[in-house]
């Protein structure tokens, strides 16, 4: 896979661990409000300010979870999350 640019950093697209780190850094910037675009619409009657983000946080979180799982499998580790059931008698 070719290299991609995330948040100004060139990352190997075939390495899930490097992708996770770059995407997590981008998420932190987004949470800090650095990657939100703001625009104003003015008319003689109204004044509106619009804030637009490039991706939803749910999409970023889902991709981070997928990449973390792929990174764990690549490094030979076992899954850390699994369902547990408890039964009371």
pLDDT at 7: 72
Q: Write the pLDDT tens digit of every residue in 13-45.
A: 888 888 888 888 888 887 776 766 667 777 777
Q: Please tell me the distance from the alpha carbon of residue 23 to that of residue 25, in angstroms, as a whole number.
A: 5
Q: Write the pLDDT tens digit of every residue in 53-83.
A: 667 778 888 888 888 888 888 888 665 566 6
pTM tops 0.85: no
| Helix (H/G/I), strand (E/B), else coil: 84 | coil
Tokens for 57? 């946080």
pLDDT at 49: 78
- In the chain, what are the domain boundaries? 3-74
């Amino acid at each position: 896979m070719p290299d991609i640019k995330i948040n100004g950093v060139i990352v190997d697209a075939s390495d899930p661990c490097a992708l996770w780190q770059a995407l997590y850094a981008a998420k932190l910037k987004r949470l800090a409000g650095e990657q939100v675009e703001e625009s104003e619409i003015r008319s003689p009657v109204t004044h509106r300010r619009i804030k637009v983000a490039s991706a939803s946080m749910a999409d970023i979180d889902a991709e981070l979870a997928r990449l973390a799982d792929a990174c764990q499998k690549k490094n030979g580790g076992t899954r850390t999350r699994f369902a547990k059931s408890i039964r009371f008698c």
